[in-house]
Amino acid sequence: MEKEQPKVIIHEELCKACGLCIIHCPKDILATSDKINELGYPATVAAKEGCIGCANCYLICPEPGAITVIKP
């Protein structure tokens, strides 16, 4: 059985596109989306696999609830 990997979930409807999570991701898995959210921002998305569960994105995000990191 393969071990589950950590996962980052960006709640796009809360993202204000500051880009801090993208800058602070050591695995470079986050990117700006082409889609504009309801707030009028190009929300951040998890563009690749490879999250290591460091939670840098969660810790640096100024918007409460916009990022969840799941560590199985």
Domain spans, the chain = 7-70
CATH ID of 7-70, from 1.10.3720.10, 3.40.50.300, 3.40.640.10, 3.30.70.20: 3.30.70.20
Express each pLDDT in 17-59 by its tens digit.
999 999 999 999 999 999 999 999 999 999 999 999 999 999 9
Q: What are phi and psi of 41, to 5 degrees?
A: -110, 150
Separation of first and last alpha carbons in the chain: 14
Strand, helix or coil at 4?
coil
Residue 66 pLDDT > 90: yes
The pLDDT value recorded for residue 34 is: 94
The pLDDT value recorded for residue 2 is: 72
Nearest to residue 63, comparing CAs of 17, 31, 28? 17
